[in-house]
Structure 1
């Protein structure tokens, strides 16, 4: 499960959300309601993004392990000499 945001991250997001609502919807949001909105979306959307990040990481690890396996085969020395 994703961790909590730092105060700096929260402040940044509050500003961004307030700017969005002001420019796109002509609405002004207060800090508290913006933080509540961010908390709601974090709870509802966060797990989807987190799980996608885990899946992306899983795929990357598998790709890297396959590449490493190929590299290890290249390092093998022949043990039987042909006559």
Structure 2
């Protein structure tokens, strides 16, 4: 399943792909070829990038939870017996 992107985003990405091919490979590619490269990248590379984003989110949430736990412990009051 391909990622659904807004048309403006897809158009911008396709233009970036065309620019890359022109500057890096001295090739001019058309709209259809740029679309194929974009679809390939989204299908094959997208899941890796998505999973890395999830791992980053997990790490961030764990760090925030740890900070929250420390903050809550600092609010505890001593009990005298």
- State TM-score, norm by structure 1: 0.90
Secondary structure (helix, strand or coil) at the match of 1:52 reads helix
**What does 1:2-81 align with in structure 2 at a 5 Å threshold?**
3-81=3-81
Whole-Å Cα distance in 1 between the matches of residues 2 and 54 of structure 2? 11
Max radius of gyration: which structure? Answer: 1
Whole-Å Cα distance in 2 between the matches of residues 56 and 48 of structure 1? 12
Secondary structure (helix, strand or coil) at the match of 2:45 reads helix
Residue 32 (structure 1) shift? 1.3
Secondary structure (helix, strand or coil) at the match of 1:62 reads helix
| 1:21 and 1:29 in contact (8 A); partners too | yes
List, as ranges, runs of 4+ consecutive aligned residues in structure 1 with deviation greater than 4 Å: none
Unaligned runs of 5+ in 2: none
Residue 2 (structure 1) shift? 7.7
- State TM-score, norm by structure 2: 0.92
- For this pair of structures, how many residues does the alignment match? 81
Give the CA RMSD over aligned residues.
Answer: 1.6
